Amino acid sequence: MRMKSSKLVIVGVGNVGSAVLNCALSLGLASEIAIIDIKEKKARGEALDSSHALPYALHPNVNIRAGSFAECTDADVIIIAAGPSILPEEASKDRLALAGKNIAVMKDVMTSITQYTKEAVIIMITNPLDIMVYYAQNFFGYPKNKILGTGTTLETARFKQIIASHYDLDPKNVHGYILGEHGNSAFAAWSLVNIAAIPAARLNEYFPADQPLDFNKTAAQVIQVAYDVLNSKGWTNSGIAMAACRIARAVLFNERSIFPVSTTLEGEYGLTGVALSLPCVIAAEGVRQRLEVPLADDEAAKLTASAANLKNVIKSVGLAK
């Protein structure tokens, strides 16, 4: 099978960026992968190490190399994983506490990227994700549809996995979303959840389980499990790397797939001046459409609260317009 000719650039190859690299190779995402990191020796080492996997890779003819931001000139997709993350000793803290540090990082990254391109689709992972997306989309003159954050794609995957495990089903058959902030104010949109068109409220009638699915407990577990991973291994990287690469595949192959990604809202649910996650159609041009899906009244209220939480941070770091 001949690989689609495409180029992926990964900015930042710490724990998350290196996992993105490995995932991209496993999925055969691109024929060229360029790695950029402030630690140039680390980037060269990651490129060299990954090249040794190519004889066993799905697509062995991949050009992997370390480079400068000039590599962005002809990139199709850029995945940004640069900047510090929450540490285990900070696991009780909100990831929004990273805002001040990573705004400085993102300023350097976006300034460097825009010297070479405004054509590539940028997928952001750096936390606090929604603040970084808002900053990148609104302060650098980059086409807004070409910047998006992984958003609640990871929380949604965890959500589906938890529900599927409860009923002993394939998680791909669970449909639904975690929406809002990529963080503590994210919420489960239970009104949208279904398995085989069976709504969440009736799942226990169709699928045997030791006990009924507890909506509140399940939603809380989705948020808590991120801290469980962090406290156990020191970082989270496998799930978010797969989420980012899955979105990248939708761009590179013009899938028109729907993911709950983070973008700046433009009046949906009466909200503006904030980036958070709603279901979006992802295609070659990036975000083709943001979907104002029907939410229950309590879910709409949670979305508004999540937006207010993020707006407070945007204001506190001087990004409010």
SS3 content of the chain, % helix, strand, coil (to 5): 50, 20, 30
Burial of 71: CB neighbours in 10 Å, binned 0-12, 13-18, 19+ = buried
Tokens coding 39: 């630690």
Closest CA to 276 of 263, 259, 291: 263
Catalytic residue check, 59: no
One-letter amino acid identity for 1? M
Largest CA distance in the chain: 57
Q: Which two tokens stand for residue 289?
A: 């459409």
Amino acid letter, residue 244: A
Cβ atoms of 150 and 243 closer than 8 Å: yes
Round to whole Å and give the CA distance between 178 and 197: 18
DSSP state at residue 70 = G
Dist. CA 216–CA 220, nearest whole Å: 6
Residue 113 CA to residue 119 CA, distance in Å, equals 10
Q: Which residues are catalytic?
A: 182
